Structure 1
């Protein structure tokens, strides 16, 4: 991807204003600001920072990272996670792309090899050291997430970060891929480490970029093989088997976690009906 900055003569486009973990949303329509540059509060001095990065519905997408979520008179600043269920899937992916690119540029101003300043590469999205030539690309952290079935029940876990006093969220087992292991090995390891359960019949079920801050979730379905639940207390507060007629509070629609849980629920329901 080459570097491309808009100018006052540019056509209308989608504007992804980001700041830290938030994105600017308008109250109507697709939630992402759309319009001519002259119709938006884009200062002339910002144009060197604004950058074209993709397209949506045939129109260009520009991202502009601000140090602070200042009031631009367009709408409100919302965390991207709050928008998982509200944004069109394609827009959510674009918003995540904008935020991950902004994070990469912010955290790679200096070379990790020699400490000297880094500069943008013009013909692709990368930073290169002006001294030793070391080139860096945006970090992507591979993760697995797996929905596990045992007869008519699903294994769900409550992570420490999902604890709520009255209605805790339960989700599928997940974890980061470690060096030297396949995705299937990671599924087996994470399931056993977090819950004490051995799984088999592992099937790929899709993927989702997860910009919190730079993960790529790779989803699987699996079947219970053996073992009794033993919760890894450093990660979870609880894990249990839930029948599909008595499920706890689940992750938001739009997340790959909810997708694979719903898939297992649907599969079990169809088998019970058949």
Structure 2
């Protein structure tokens, strides 16, 4: 549910000089696939002692911080998947591991991507190195600093009396609906993004925006900011090619919607709980 409180991960971009590594956890990525061991059907990261026996090539190794006191690293590796191990994309961990560990795996993926895409400076072309104090890449030649890419986006449930607006993307199967969402554009506030995205996607005006919370969504690098708002005026008009259909649904008559691990469902559940408690 809503990640309002700190979890068991302590972030730090720089490893302490004398910090132990014998019990470290390795989040190892082969291209876009996360290498793991399954215990009771639940995947987990690779332990340091397990990793040293793997016949793989390591392109980068970045310190992340500590999970329940264990140092954690994000690795970009290449090689064959050894017996007893498996690979999956991050969605294969979603809902199968505890939320804090999933978000940590997503963080590791984004740091691996930072290193992969910033081997050389985008301004002068010289090699880049890990920043000495920040979670970033640094060019010693011209001083350019490259940080992990984050793409802020809004996700919003539009309400009208006892109904909620849910829409189906053109790429989704018939019968699958969710809340509206979209990326923030340069120069606009988060609230302005809500108004623009709702108008662009379904052609209606909204009012009374309320921020509920956020979720890191590493597919590949979104930060989802969740809102409720109220219908103001207008009729459905699909102004772009994203939305196939949109409908009003009563809080007690839901269609097929995303599962409990997604912020869209949290927004829907918050509305249902409010109506059931009224």
Any idea what SS the aligned residue of 1:264 has?
A: helix
CA distance in 1 between counterparts of 2:53 and 2:132 reads 24
Any idea what SS the aligned residue of 1:23 has?
A: strand
Of the candidates 196, 207, 215, which is equivalent to residue 200 of structure 1? 207
Identify if the C-alpha distance between structure 1 residues 196 and 47 changes in structure 2 by more than 3 Å, giving closer, same or farther: closer
For structure 2, the 5+ residue unaligned runs are 1-11
Identify if the C-alpha distance between structure 1 residues 34 and 216 changes in structure 2 by more than 3 Å, giving closer, same or farther: same
Q: How does 1:50-199 map to 2 (within 5 A)?
A: 50-67=61-78, 70-161=80-171, 163-164=172-173, 168-199=175-206
Any idea what SS the aligned residue of 1:119 has?
A: strand
Residue by residue, what CA displacement relative to the aligned partner does 1:209-237 show, whole Å, maximum 9, x if unpaired? 11111111111111111111112341111
Deviation at 1:44, TM superposition (A): 8.6
Identify if the C-alpha distance between structure 1 residues 21 and 169 changes in structure 2 by more than 3 Å, giving closer, same or farther: farther
Any idea what SS the aligned residue of 1:49 has?
A: strand
Identify if the C-alpha distance between structure 1 residues 5 and 169 changes in structure 2 by more than 3 Å, giving closer, same or farther: farther
Identify if the C-alpha distance between structure 1 residues 46 and 255 changes in structure 2 by more than 3 Å, giving closer, same or farther: same
Deviation at 1:92, TM superposition (A): 1.0
Count of matched residue pairs: 265
Deviation at 1:119, TM superposition (A): 1.9
Identify if the C-alpha distance between structure 1 residues 158 and 114 changes in structure 2 by more than 3 Å, giving closer, same or farther: same
Identify if the C-alpha distance between structure 1 residues 139 and 51 changes in structure 2 by more than 3 Å, giving closer, same or farther: closer
Identify if the C-alpha distance between structure 1 residues 122 and 249 changes in structure 2 by more than 3 Å, giving closer, same or farther: same
**11-20 or 191-200, which moves further after superposition?**
11-20
Bigger proportion of residues as strand: 2
CA distance in 2 between counterparts of 1:141 and 1:240 reads 28
Residue by residue, what CA displacement relative to the aligned partner does 1:138-180 show, whole Å, maximum 9, x if unpaired? 111110000111111111111234x12xx54311100011111
CA distance in 2 between counterparts of 1:42 and 1:124 reads 31
